[in-house]
Amino acid sequence: MRVKLVVQRFDPERESRPYWQTFELVDVDPTDRVLDLLRYVKGQIDGTLTFRHSCAHGVCGSDGMRINGVNRLACKTLVKALTRPEAGSVEIKIQPLLGLPVIKDLVVDMEPFFRHYRSVLPFFISHQARPERERVQMPQDRLRIDDGTKCILCACCTTSCPSFWADPRYVGPAAIVQAHRFIFDSRDTAGKERLTILNAPTGVWRCRTILNCTDCCPREIQVTRLIGEVKKALTVNRGRAVAITGESSTGVR
């Protein structure tokens, strides 16, 4: 099929503002990934087109970008997902993720995103003595954190969030998902510190449950639900005697 690939270009070294460039591609297979199209353009038409990519199957998180107005991984988006089966041609519009400074073309500066990530103590903390063997964790306690552990920090969620666009000081959904993974880990003992961080004006209360994050997550994480669980834990910590969700034997320490 034919694809009109419309890409936002911008090299701040040489250009004063972004512009759209169109590449007309023929003989595109509907099962091609959008990344395949970008690779083709870079290899055969214009080597200056710049984007990050590596694993090409949705696990490294390098190639998050805005494709037809939705944040997606270019390697996990097939052309056929962007068109109807009977259509002979399609226009695909690609922009960098919104809300982060553009370095060049589709490459954004991820540092503000990772700064938020680092702010929530995204690492295991235990003040208990290390046993000789593994710590015991029951399967249902492990299941409690399963969803959040899928996160690959591609930033699709955070950069699709209007609250983040409105105020980049908001830690954003990805950082909350990472915090959630430790807050609800039955082995971790620093849940309270993380909850205090997320109770700040830049924390979870900025979430207005718009659900863009959940809709676009390439790992299909229930982001809004995890944020809701953190909010609920904060409400509980304020003194209301409500069990966290009753799903698990795990509490917040």
Partner 1 sequence: MRTHVFDAVIVGAGGAGLMAALHASQQVKTAVISKLHPLRSHTGAAQGGIGAALGNLEEDRWEWHAFDTVKGSDYLADQDAVDILCREAVEAVIELEHMGLPFDRTAEGKIAQRPFGGHTNNETRQPVRRACHAADRTGHMILQTLYQQCLKNNVTFFDEFELLDLIRVDGEVRGLVTLEIATGELHLYHAKAVLFATGGYGRIWQITSNAAALTGDGNAILLRHGFPLQDMEFYQFHPTGIYQMGILLTEGVRGEGGVLVNGKGERFMERYAPTIKDLASRDVVSRAIYLEIEAGGGINGQDYVFLDIRPETVNHYFAADGKTNPDGTPRQITADDIERKLPDIADFVRTYLGIDPVLEPMPVQPTAHYAMGGIPTNVEGQVLQDAQGTPAPGIYAAGECACVSVHGANRLGTNSLNDILVFGRRAGRHMAHYCRERELQTFPLEPAMAVAERLERLRSGRGGIRATDLCAAMQGVMMKHVGVFRTEEAMQLALAEIQRLQRESEQIEIDDRGKRFNTDLLEALQTQNLLDLAQVVTLSALARTESRGAHAREDHQERDDIHWLKHTLAFRRPDGSVELEYKPVVITRFEPKERIY
Question: Which positions from 42 to 61 touch partner 1 by CB under 8 A, shown as an x/- string?
Answer: xxx-xxx-xxxxxxxxxxxx
Interface residue with partner 1 among 23, 62, 198, 233 (CB under 8 A) is 62
In the DSSP assignment, the letter for residue 98 is T
Q: Which of residues 218-247 bind partner 1 (CB under 8 A)?
A: 220
Interface residue with partner 1 among 16, 26, 134, 201 (CB under 8 A) is 134
Query: 3-state DSSP call for residue 94?
Result: strand
Q: Which of residues 69-128 bind partner 1 (CB under 8 A)?
A: 76, 78, 103-104, 107, 109-110, 114, 118, 122-126
Between vectors from CA 197 to CA 196 and to CA 200, what angle results, nearest 5°?
Answer: 90
Percent helix, strand and coil across the chain, each to the nearest 5: 35, 15, 50
**Burial track 63-95 (b if 16+ CB lie within 10 A, e otherwise):** bbbbbbeebbbbbbbebbebbeeeeeebebbbb
Which amino acid, 204? V
Interface residue with partner 1 among 6, 9, 98, 187 (CB under 8 A) is 187
Instruction: Give the residue with the Cβ less far from partner 1, 31 or 89.
Output: 31
Interaction of residue 194 with partner 1, rule CB under 8 A: no
Q: Nearest approach, Cβ of 173 to partner 1 (angstroms)? A: 17
Q: Which of residues 14-43 bind partner 1 (CB under 8 A)?
A: 14, 31, 42-43
Query: 3-state DSSP call for residue 116?
Result: helix
Q: Nearest approach, Cβ of 135 to partner 1 (angstroms)? A: 6
Beta bridge partners of 24: 4
C-alpha torsion sign, points 108, 49, 52, 5: positive
Q: How many residues sit in the footprint of partner 1 (CB under 8 A)?
A: 61
Q: Nearest approach, Cβ of 93 to partner 1 (angstroms)? A: 21
**Cβ atoms 60, 67 nearer than 8 A:** no
Query: 3-state DSSP call for residue 120?
Result: coil
Instruction: Give the residue with the Cβ less far from partner 1, 27 or 132.
Output: 132
Using alpha carbons, list the distances in angstroms from residue 112 to 16, 56, 116, 182, 239: 23, 24, 7, 22, 34
Q: Nearest approach, Cβ of 162 to partner 1 (angstroms)? A: 26
Q: Nearest approach, Cβ of 123 to partner 1 (angstroms)? A: 4
Instruction: Give the residue with the Cβ less far from partner 1, 99 or 148.
Output: 148
Instruction: Give the residue with the Cβ less far from partner 1, 164 or 182.
Output: 182
Q: What are phi and psi of 117, to 5 degrees?
A: -55, -50
Q: Which residues bind partner 1 (CB under 8 A)?
A: 11-14, 31, 42-44, 46-48, 50-62, 76, 78, 103-104, 107, 109-110, 114, 118, 122-126, 130, 132-139, 141-142, 145-146, 149-150, 152-153, 181-182, 185, 187-188, 220
